[in-house]
Structure formats: structure tokens, C-alpha cells
A = this chain, B = another copy of it.
């Protein structure tokens, strides 16, 4: 796995984060997003509301942190033997996860409670790290590879732009066409 810049130090601070994040996830499932409040989350997590406010500022910033954790990839992209196969499979899965209703909600939460842009930057770093793995593996096989920023512009950006601004047509065929475009006409 790649390094995880979001990982927080261990000890009490890490335990508080874990219990508060868990409380948000459980309560979202039980009572829904609209009914969440800081006192409700704090009570479930066994901390005081002021602990939550001190650490996260407000509910929107807490939801943004939880969303970024949920958007963190679980594993490296699968090795299917070629750059084209690896990148196509990764792009299909990326689109599928991000365009799903929970994916859209997490992207929105990540952006909204993020005054300094750190969480949005982390979402982008997750995608770039996954692409780095695919490209490094292909280069190791002796394949010619585009650079990561080009793949971000040609595959990640259109998927995320359409999710946020221009929904519709977001299917696996679209992901495959984007990957074919960057591999066949790198520009």
C-alpha cells in the first residue's frame, strides 16, 4: 500500500477519532444524515460535544473527514497483466464507486466541510496513488506509459466533473472510452 498521509497519531487522539467516526457511520445508517447533530454523535461516541467542536469545528467538517476516510481505497489496483487491462479495470471501478449514491454523498461531504481544501486534495491524492501503482507496474513490464497527471486530466477529471456538474452517461463504457483515449492519443 502507498503511504497514508491522513493517518493520525495513535493513542487517545486516535481512539477519539475512531469512536466519533464510527458514531457518524452508525447514526447515518440508523437515523439518516439530516437528523445528525454534534450532541447526538458525541453521546454515541462517549465524548463531550466540546471535544467534537474542538477537534472538528462543526458537523460539516466532521462529515467531510468521515467522507474522506470512506473514499480511501482498500487495496492496490488488481494486476491484470497489461497497462490497458489494469487502467481500464481501475477506471471502471472508480467510476462505479464514485457515481454510486453513497459515493456522490461522500464526494459532496468531502468538498463541503473543507475550508482549506485539504480533504479534497486527499481525495485526489488517493486516485493519483492508485494510478501511480498501475503506471509503475506497467513501466516495470517495459510498457510505454503516460504520466500520472495526464491520466488524472483524461480519466479522473472527466468522471468527477460529470458526477458534480453534468450527470448522465456515466457508465462503464464511458470509463473505457476515456482510458482508450489517453492510451491511444495521449495528446
Contact = CB atoms under 8 A, between A and B. Distances in A.
Interface of A: 108, 111-112, 117, 120-121, 123-124, 152-154, 156-158, 160-162, 164-167, 178, 180-182, 184-187
Contact of A165 (B108, B120, B178, B185): B120
Given A184-B187, A187-B184, A178 B153 contact: yes
For chain A, what secondary structure do more than half of its interface residues adopt (helix, strand, loop), or is it mixed? helix
Nearest to A159: B157
A158 B161 CA distance: 8
Task: Give the copy number.
Answer: 2
Contacts of A156: 161
Contacts of A158: 152-154, 157-158
Contact of A121 (B120, B165, B186, B187): B165
Contacts of A164: 111, 120, 160, 164
Interface centre among A124, A154, A164, A180 (most CB of B within 10 A): A164
Contacts of A117: 167
Contacts of A112: 112
Contacts of A154: 153-154, 158, 187
